[in-house]
Structure 1
Amino acid sequence: MASVGQAIERAVVFGASGGIGAALVERLQARGAAEVFAASRRKPDDLPDGIQWVQFDLDDEDSIAQAAEKVGSPLDCIIVASGVLTLHDGSGPERSYRQIDAEAMARVFHLNTVGPALVAKHFLPLLPRDRRAVFAALSARVGSIGDNRIGGWHSYRASKAALNMLVRNYAIELDRTHKKAICVALHPGTVDTALSEPFQANLPEGQLTPPDEAAANLLDVLDGLTSHDSGQLFDWKGERVEF
């Protein structure tokens, strides 16, 4: 997509200790952003020089509020790259409704939907009202209701579908006060990270994308968006995905 936006000067990436998040931080810095904040629960061991670390925990809303206070305004770009497919106890996406577990489903929703909602609550007010700015949350094509052909993965699909709805809601609300703001969900494709690792064995050759390439793709997509694209889900090629 052709670039239509001005250069990003101040950006924050949530989930900066993950594969895509870390790559986004490095790409933003390489593209010339003056200030890049890497937000994660623990400080990454390989945090690049010049990157400012911000601690946050999706289980602690106060930590998100404190992160917003530390980063301050204005922000040109907010990216939420946190999310989960397999829980720490090994619980993976359900293949059948018979496998649904209430606690596991609630946890997936908290990390994939409620967490980004809390980030938006505290960070959307930091977007400027007088110029282009972006809020983007990593979603997934499998969160598309219209594109669902095979079912399964109930908690993950549903949590991403809910995230897509929140993005649409926030876009509508932002348009009342931030006419140039862009609020979108992004599908990065299948990226070579810990999230996708348990499901990589049967992927067709060439379908697995390195994190750095995925980050470059996503930032290129954001470059090409305008406020008219706000509230939509885009894939890594810049094509709109049906909700």
Structure 2
Amino acid sequence: MGVKSVFITGIGSGLGKAFAQRFLEKGYKVYALSRHLPDCLKNNSEIKFQFCDLQALETIYPAAERLLEGIENLDVAILNAGFLTELKDIHDTPIYEMNLMMDINVWANKVILDYLIDKKIKTPQIVAISSGASVNGNRGWHGYSISKAALNMLIKLYSREMEDTHLIALAPGLILTPMLEKFVLSADEEKFPSVKRIKNAPKMTPEEAAEKIINLLPKLKKFESGSYLDVRKI
């Protein structure tokens, strides 16, 4: 058995950074596509990093080529990168902002999946990080809810085409990330009732969430490929 390998997007902070750290600790070779490489990972020879702004869709395919040149197999891919703006009513959310969330949360993942298919990189398991917001439709979650719902369907559609790959859209539960703190915990809890519930609910650290999801990877394969799952219900 050779060294296991994982492809991860969005490792700059939060859950993505924790994924990279945990996989490295478990002896994986990490291939990362992100805007930032955290300082704590810069001197690790087992991570190969390629800068990519996933908002710039036309740059993703060539960035993936540079990162994965010569790679024929990946044990798992974690499509983690996501984007949320401040909570507001959808009536007050401009379409350009909605498009930005769609580009990063949905279309960037399409480009990556297309690359894996085109280059015939065998990837037996792919997990796309979704959100409970994709199904609960709480006030204030505007384009984030729409884009994560679209991500769920994107994964289901690709599962019909990638017959040798097991794909899951996974809601990771509540994680105390910079994104949650900046845009959710600071929002108006009277106007947006979900904020109060989130404040009062137990939350994982990114490290706890990454460990939980990595440990769940074998169990996820028991569910139908293309499914949407929530870690809180597995």
TM bucket, shorter chain: 0.7 to 0.9
Name whichever structure is richer in helix by fraction. Answer: 2
Give a deviation string over 1:149-197, Cα, whole Å, max 9, x none.
x44422111111111110000111112xx1xx21111111121111100
Distance (whole Å) between structure 2 residues aligned to residue 36 and residue 68 of structure 1: 15
Q: Please tell me whether residue 56 in structure 1 is matched to residue 52 in structure 2.
A: yes
Give a deviation string over 1:91-130, Cα, whole Å, max 9, x none.
x2332x42131111111111111111112111345542xx
Contact 1:78 1:136 in 2 (8 A): yes
Distance 1:238 1:68, change over 3 A: farther
What's the TM-score, normalizing by structure 2? Answer: 0.83
TM-align CA RMSD: 2.4
Distance (whole Å) between structure 2 residues aligned to residue 214 and residue 185 of structure 1: 15
Contact 1:40 1:54 in 2 (8 A): yes
Counterpart in 2 of 1:192?
Answer: 176
1:44-193 pair list within 5 angstroms: 44-47=38-41, 49-50=44-45, 51-58=47-54, 59-71=56-68, 72-86=71-85, 92-95=86-89, 97-124=90-117, 125-128=119-122, 133-144=124-135, 147-148=136-137, 150-175=138-163, 178=164, 181-193=165-177
Q: CA deviation at 1:228?
A: 4.7
More divergent stretch after superposition (40-49 vs 152-161): 40-49
Q: CA deviation at 1:79?
A: 0.7
Q: CA deviation at 1:63?
A: 4.0
Q: CA deviation at 1:213?
A: 0.3
Q: Please tell me whether residue 221 in structure 1 is matched to residue 212 in structure 2.
A: no
Distance (whole Å) between structure 2 residues aligned to residue 7 and residue 160 of structure 1: 35
For structure 1, the 5+ residue unaligned runs are 1-5, 87-91
Distance (whole Å) between structure 2 residues aligned to residue 153 and residue 237 of structure 1: 20
What's the TM-score, normalizing by structure 1? Answer: 0.80
Counterpart in 2 of 1:21?
Answer: 16
For structure 2, the 5+ residue unaligned runs are 187-195
More divergent stretch after superposition (111-120 vs 204-213): 204-213
Indicate the structure whose relative CO is greater, using CA pairs within 8 Å and at least 6 residues apart.
Answer: 1
